[in-house]
Structure 1
Amino acid sequence: MSPQRRLTGAAAILYALKSAGISHLFVNLGSDHPAFLLEFASQSHEDLQIFTSPNEMNALSAASGFAQITGCPAAVLVHVECGTQGLAGAIHNVSKGRIPVIILAGTVPITMAGEIPGSRNEYIHWIQDVPDQRAIVRQYMRYEHEIRRPHNAAQIVLRALQFALSSPQGPVYLIASRETLCEDFDETDTQVRSLREYGKNTAVEPIGLSPTAPEELTNVMLKAERPLIVTSYCGRSIRGFEALKAVAELLAIPVHENAPIYNNFPTTSFLHQGHQWNGGGQLPALAEADVVIVIDADVPWIPAQSKPSQKARIFHLDNDPLKEGMTLWSLPCERRWKCDSPLALEQLCASIRGSPVLGQAETRERIGGRTSYLRERFSQRRSALLRAEAPAHDGRVTVPYFMSRLREATADVRVVGLNESTTNLGNVADHFHHRLPLSLIGSGGGSLGWYSGGAVGASLALRASGRLDDLVVAFVGDGTWLFGVPSCAYWMAKKYETPFLTVIWNNGGWASPRNAFLRLNPGMAQSNQTEGKLSDRVMTSITPSPAFGKIAEGAGDAWWQVVRSNEDVDETCKKAIQAVREEKRCAVIEVVLDSV
């Protein structure tokens, strides 16, 4: 038998992370972490790549971006309750987006007279003492716990990861005192088994449809005249994207993406019905549908703006059909199933192919007629999008025009877009022309500022996957850009060689709260001309405009350019792409739009 080693609590945690396949750890360190720093200095954890993030929200957003691209969780280590609060809105995003991450935090020492190693020896240890540190994030977590002794640290880490990776996925949070992290112990048989038998402590297997459900849904879909699929995050995996595509193409069923977190369906397909977030009015495909299949959607429609016919038959497939993290939610439907959508759609596809009804003349005629109808609708929609991309006669830049030129400039490049464009979410999604899975992703939630850390994490994920030539592009509003702590993110991108392109839609303010105000007070829109600029009066103006490019340049040597007219767009896109791909520098394009 090999001699037993002595491990600290910190070492046990790191070994457990590695045994579970965690490869990336983002850290923001403090006085609770000496035992971790000792492990880092020992360089005995080479399989675990460690990245310093000067801001906690950037760290968790980077872990999110990494997990969203790879499907594998990353880890984040922060400093006591202060660092936990520093995670800020990223906690909301990974929770609402069901993104698997493991968050670790120290606590202040639990002794104060030097009784054991790690005891309090700094004044801040009293100041940072709170009654219930875990309560800060408890309602957002799939699992949270305290590691009280180092002997079972590995067991608790592996248990936390079971929750993070079991459907519905999400974040987990563990804390440990400085004494626990510093305490060393003989590596026992229990400890060794916990690490070596990770394969016996894995996530719950994905659940498919119940035995009778595929046939039931098959019969409904084969008989439908105007079926429709609505989704928000079925495309969170390549398997889900491809399974949805297979079912839709088999029966010529149109697909609508409502408030999508991931791109779920090729926008170049005649079956694609577009995207909606806020506004847009009644979706024709939803109004005319006699059968609606909702698959992985938190907000399949906003009833005040767009809703199905009262006669429509509605079915719901979701890994979280009860929306357990929402207090007010309802989707009246005939049947709902808690299931893994890729597996369920594969079951459904097999059932459809095996149905004798599929080959009947009546069915083929119905599918053929629907195909012709949808091709004509797609042609009309594509013509409308092309008209929107036309250059403005006065030379001012619009989002559709810029997107069309960026699309042309990246025609030979595989682009991974991060869409946090707030009021321009739809413009980016509609004019991006993405057709591959995981080409355009969002934060998963509603807390702005994810894009910057997310871009660093996505870049690291692409590197780990061997996709070194992909171009990461973050699309953001001017207000959102400021939320992203850019001074930290561009520094991280420079240090860890993860350059990305940022496109800032600068409309001079926060259009989202202004628009929300006008939806309830539409008459105020007219007061712009008589009582001064409305954005200034309702405090949604960002004027004077910050020098966005200078901030990025100062933090991470980013290349930057301001675009004010159509004639500047092509050359700017060319130089920005060159800066990222050839010079390995971040690039920032500030696109000046009409001011709100």
Structure 2
Amino acid sequence: MGSDATTRRSGDGGYTTSTAFLEALAEGGVEYVFGNLGSDHPGILEAYALARAEGREHTLPRLVICPHESVAMAAALGHAQVSGVAQVVLAHVECGTQNIGGMLHNAAKGRTGVLMYAGASPFTQDGELFGSRNEFIQWIQDVHDQRGIVRGYTKYDNEIRTGANVKQLVRRAVQIASSSPAGPVYLVGPREVMEAEAPPQRADPAQFPPVAPAALAPDTVERVASALAGARQPVVVTSYLGRDRAAVPELVRLCEAAGAGVLESVPMHVNFPADHPLHWGYQWNDQHHNPLLESADVVLVLGSDVPWIPTRNRPSADARVFVVDEDPLKEQMPLWHVPAELFARADLATAVRQLRERVTELAEPSAVAARRATAEAEHERLFEQRSRREVPDGETITPEYLVALVRDLVDDDTLVLTESITNYPAVSWHLRRNTPGSLLGSGGGSLGWALGAAVGAKLAAPDRTVVSLVGDGSYLFGVPSSAFWLARRYDAPSLTIVFDNNGWNAPKASALGVHPDGTAARHDDFGVDFTPQADLAGIAAAAGGAWGRTVKAAGELPGALAEAYSVVRSGRAAVLAVQVPGL
């Protein structure tokens, strides 16, 4: 910063708290500020304009204008999930903060680092300070506890009260957001503070690194490794180990050393290569017993919030269960328990590496070979059964057929986002991703993540092709008019494939799960259909100039998929709505 910048008066283009705030973000590695702007952001806008006028816009993160806060948050999450670096969302006071709500849930439950910043209504009203109230809305938007709106989901929240230490506050916020388990943080800055002149300051980002990975204690390594090495039928259950791409090959080596099968429960990442002969498939809301899980004598849960549903499928009461996780007790979940003899907090890649080294020393080779042969036979049986479903039903397009065609279309480097909800199992079983980092889900349960996340993911990895597999409900929740406009403006095209079953299948399935013979079931009256059907592809075409098509017959699908994929690879967004069997 030049010395002349610090002497300018507030409001005259001086070096303000807003400028220091944005500089701190860039110095900490933040590439993008995804923003929905309002009356609380004049200082931010002035800081950007001044930087452009002075030819130093490269010293600030790029501002990406998002016409809806939910899309902004989803984009920030998508970028962070791909880049591994927390990004920033700019929200408009308490209104914009509440609009973020569903994606905030996904950030917290998916353990994705993101910094949310919102202004606050000015705290003076008679011109006492520069930036004082001058619009009627600023009285209406003044609430008792703006930070309290998000406190049930954030790891940290604070208010910027002075420009003198704003860089330190930003560094600390990003450090907390990025430390395992990662998650969202929230800062608030009143307009008078963000407009005020700030003194030059330093807060070296190198002094605010994320917390270093934690290892297992030696006696824990010995206990778990001994159990795996001596097991009759060991199984590993994981959901999100693949968030750390380096952990996936370590898990492969551990399972090969132990002869253990791997079961992915509600996976949102590539946790284990699908084609590996020790892969035992996927478990979602399965309402039936899993004999492979129930017959295991040693179960190692490595990074999972829901390793099984106790009322439907669970290990034998005699099984030895061990839980290793960065968040082993799920402290933010009021009701949670997995009966286990050991819970250990550790970085998953580090823990798996430790266990693999000790299991290799302890395991008897002939026993491991026998266990691997049994596990590999189960893999062949399971995936062969699923492969038989990959055919259409006449001209009716089944989800399994659709996903199998997508599998054959994409390459290993293609980044696939999944928000297919009731078709999550079909995507897992039939897409069969093998490359770590090539599949992402939101990690949470709030719909509408994929469309915005695809923009953020493309900005983070511009050379990769991005494909989203979504339900029609997820598509509409994603504010497609805003998301596809955003993709067009910032040259971030992706292919969105919609499982269009004309409604919300998930609430119907939930109702049938509780009332299988109830009145709703007898009368087929669930109130979840989308009649009249929206033109899903047409929304994207109108808002973002996307290529769009709706496919109803199986014979049309291969050609339509190939065309849509080609369009995206040439630089234009595409939406293919595929009508699958209805509710």
* The two structures share one fold, judged by TM-score above 0.5: yes
Cα offset for 1:543? Answer: 0.9
Cα offset for 1:4? Answer: 7.3
Query: One-letter code of the match for 1:339?
Result: A
Give me the whole-angstrom Cα distance separating, in 2, the residues matched to 1:589 and 1:2: 52
Q: Please, which of 39, 57, 61 is the counterpart of residue 45 of structure 1?
A: 57
Give me the whole-angstrom Cα distance separating, in 2, the residues matched to 1:542 and 1:247: 47
Give me the whole-angstrom Cα distance separating, in 2, the residues matched to 1:54 and 1:526: 39
Instruction: Answer yes or no: is 1:592 the counterpart of 2:574.
Output: no
Q: What's the counterpart of residue 290 of structure 1?
A: 297
Cα offset for 1:250? Answer: 2.2
Instruction: Answer yes or no: is 1:230 the counterpart of 2:237.
Output: yes
Give me the whole-angstrom Cα distance separating, in 2, the residues matched to 1:327 and 1:81: 26
Instruction: Answer yes or no: is 1:386 the counterpart of 2:387.
Output: yes
Cα offset for 1:261? Answer: 2.2
Percent of matched pairs sharing the same residue: 39
Query: One-letter code of the match for 1:569?
Result: L
Q: Please, which of 12, 20, 25 is the counterpart of residue 17 of structure 1?
A: 25
Alignment of 1:161-240 (within 5 A): 161-187=174-200, 191-192=201-202, 194=203, 197-240=204-247
- Contact conserved, 1:146 with 1:174, CA < 8 A, in 2? yes
Give me the whole-angstrom Cα distance separating, in 2, the residues matched to 1:180 and 1:49: 22
Residue aligned with 1:257, SS: strand
Give me the whole-angstrom Cα distance separating, in 2, the residues matched to 1:3 and 1:560: 54
Residue aligned with 1:342, SS: helix
Give me the whole-angstrom Cα distance separating, in 1, the residues matched to 2:521 and 2:66: 45
Residue aligned with 1:37, SS: helix
- Contact conserved, 2:412 with 2:435, CA < 8 A, in 1? no
- The CA deviation string for residues 176-223 of structure 1, in whole angstroms up to 9 with x for no partner, is 100000000331xxx22x1xx221122221111012222222211110
Residue aligned with 1:292, SS: strand
Cα offset for 1:538? Answer: 2.2
* Alignment TM-score, normalising by the size of structure 2: 0.95
Give me the whole-angstrom Cα distance separating, in 2, the residues matched to 1:384 and 1:487: 40
Give me the whole-angstrom Cα distance separating, in 2, the residues matched to 1:341 and 1:526: 45
Query: One-letter code of the match for 1:349?
Result: R
Q: What's the counterpart of residue 548 of structure 1?
A: 536
Residue aligned with 2:331, SS: coil
**Greater alpha carbon shift after TM alignment, 203-212 vs 223-232:** 203-212
- Contact conserved, 2:324 with 2:345, CA < 8 A, in 1? yes
Cα offset for 1:440? Answer: 1.4
Q: Please, which of 109, 112, 120 is the counterpart of residue 122 of structure 2?
A: 109
Alignment of 1:529-548 (within 5 A): 531=523, 534=524, 537-548=525-536
Query: One-letter code of the match for 1:557?
Result: G
Q: What's the counterpart of residue 475 of structure 1?
A: 469
Q: What's the counterpart of residue 513 of structure 1?
A: 507
Residue aligned with 1:406, SS: helix
- Contact conserved, 2:256 with 2:372, CA < 8 A, in 1? no
Residue aligned with 2:198, SS: strand
Q: What's the counterpart of residue 280 of structure 2?
A: 273
- Give RMSD over aligned pairs: 1.5
- The CA deviation string for residues 465-502 of structure 1, in whole angstroms up to 9 with x for no partner, is xxx1x221111111111000000000111111111111
Cα offset for 1:408? Answer: 1.9
Residue aligned with 1:120, SS: coil
Give me the whole-angstrom Cα distance separating, in 1, the residues matched to 2:2 and 2:489: 40
Give me the whole-angstrom Cα distance separating, in 2, the residues matched to 1:2 and 1:122: 34
Runs of 5+ consecutive residues of structure 1 not aligned to the other structure: none
Q: What's the counterpart of residue 253 of structure 1?
A: 260
Alignment of 1:344-493 (within 5 A): 344-353=351-360, 355=361, 357-358=362-363, 363-392=364-393, 394-410=394-410, 412=411, 414-463=413-462, 468=463, 470-493=464-487
Q: What's the counterpart of residue 43 of structure 2?
A: 35
Residue aligned with 2:289, SS: coil
Give the paired residue count.
570
Residue aligned with 1:46, SS: helix
Q: Please, which of 84, 98, 105 is the counterpart of residue 111 of structure 2?
A: 98
Query: One-letter code of the match for 1:314?
Result: V
Q: What's the counterpart of residue 569 of structure 1?
A: 557
Residue aligned with 2:218, SS: coil
Runs of 5+ consecutive residues of structure 2 not aligned to the other structure: 7-14
Give me the whole-angstrom Cα distance separating, in 2, the residues matched to 1:250 and 1:53: 49
- The CA deviation string for residues 20-46 of structure 1, in whole angstroms up to 9 with x for no partner, is 111111111111111100111122331
Cα offset for 1:352? Answer: 2.6
- The CA deviation string for residues 565-585 of structure 1, in whole angstroms up to 9 with x for no partner, is 110111001100111001x11
**Greater alpha carbon shift after TM alignment, 239-248 vs 505-514:** 239-248
- Contact conserved, 1:475 with 1:504, CA < 8 A, in 2? yes
Residue aligned with 1:408, SS: helix
Instruction: Answer yes or no: is 1:314 the counterpart of 2:321.
Output: yes
Give me the whole-angstrom Cα distance separating, in 2, the residues matched to 1:576 and 1:18: 36
Q: What's the counterpart of residue 504 of structure 1?
A: 498
Residue aligned with 2:225, SS: helix
- Contact conserved, 1:14 with 1:45, CA < 8 A, in 2? no
Q: What's the counterpart of residue 340 of structure 1?
A: 347
Give me the whole-angstrom Cα distance separating, in 1, the residues matched to 2:533 and 2:281: 33
Cα offset for 1:438? Answer: 1.3
Q: Please, which of 102, 127, 133 is the counterpart of residue 140 of structure 2?
A: 127
Residue aligned with 2:446, SS: coil
* Alignment TM-score, normalising by the size of structure 1: 0.93
- The CA deviation string for residues 422-451 of structure 1, in whole angstroms up to 9 with x for no partner, is 100010111112100112111111000001
Give me the whole-angstrom Cα distance separating, in 2, the residues matched to 1:406 and 1:263: 17
Give me the whole-angstrom Cα distance separating, in 1, the residues matched to 2:244 and 2:428: 18
**Greater alpha carbon shift after TM alignment, 513-522 vs 207-216:** 207-216
Q: Please, which of 220, 241, 248 is the counterpart of residue 248 of structure 2?
A: 241
Q: What's the counterpart of residue 12 of structure 2?
A: none
- Contact conserved, 1:413 with 1:471, CA < 8 A, in 2? no
